[in-house]
Chain A
Amino acid sequence: MPSFDLGAHGLRALNSTLHALKGQTNETQWDVVNPRGSHAIAAGVDALVDITVHGSTGYYCAGMNKQATIRIKGSAGPGVAENMMSGTVIVDGDASQYAGATGRGGLLVIKGNASSRCGISMKGIDIVVHGSIGHMSAFMAQSGNMVVLGDAGDALGDSLYEARLFVRGKVKSLGADCIEKEMRAEHLELLEDLLRRGEADAKAKPEEFRRYGSARQLYNFNIDNADAY
Chain B
Amino acid sequence: MCGIVGLFLKDPSLEPKLGAMLADMLVTMTDRGPDSAGIAIYSGARDGIGKITVQSAHPEKDFKNLDEDLRNAIGKPVLLLEKSTHAVLEVPLDQIEAARSALAHLRPGVKIMSVGDSIEIFKEVGLPKDVAARFDVSRMKGTHGIGHTRMATESAVTTMGAHPFSTGSDQCLVHNGSLSNHNSVRRTLKKAGMTFETENDTEVAAAFLTHKMEDGAGLGAAMEATLTDLDGFFTFVVGTKNGFGVVRDPIACKPAVMAETDQYVAFGSEYRALVDLPGIENARVWEPEPATVYFWER
Contact = CB atoms under 8 A, between A and B. Distances in A.
Contact of B255 (A56, A94, A96, A135): A96
A207 to B, nearest CB: 30
Contacts of B252: 97, 115-116, 134-135
Interface stretch (B74-82, B194-202, B223-231, B283-291): B283-291
A75 interface: yes
B271 A37 contact: yes
B27 to A, nearest CB: 14
B270 A58 contact: yes
Interface string A91-122: 00010110000000000000000011000000
Nearest to B268: A37
Contacts of B289: 134
B253 A97 contact: yes
A44 interface: no
A56 B271 contact: yes
A36 interface: yes
A36 B276 CA distance: 9
Interface string A62-101: 0000000000000101100000000000000010110000
B98 interface: no
Contacts of A78: 255
B290 A77 contact: no
The interface size bin for chain B is 10 to 19
Contacts of A116: 251-253, 290
Chain B interface, DSSP helix/strand/loop, else mixed: loop
Interface in A116-132: 116
A94 B287 contact: yes
Interface residues of A, number: 16
A3 B272 CA distance: 21
Interface string B263-290: 0000000111111000000000111011
Nearest to A116: B252
A134 B255 CA distance: 14
A94 B272 CA distance: 15
B58 to A, nearest CB: 40
A97 B274 CA distance: 18
Interface in B230-263: 250-253, 255, 257
B287 to A, nearest CB: 5
Contact of A36 (B251, B257, B272, B285): B272
Kindly list the 7 A-B residue pairs having the minimum CB-CB distance in the complex, ordered from nearest. A37-B272, A37-B271, A36-B275, A115-B287, A56-B271, A58-B272, A58-B270
28 contacts: A36-B275, A37-B270, A37-B272, A37-B274, A38-B272, A56-B271, A56-B285, A58-B271, A58-B272, A59-B270, A75-B271, A77-B255, A77-B270, A77-B271, A78-B255, A94-B286, A94-B287, A96-B255, A97-B255, A115-B252, A116-B251, A116-B253, A116-B290, A134-B252, A134-B289, A134-B290, A135-B250, A135-B290
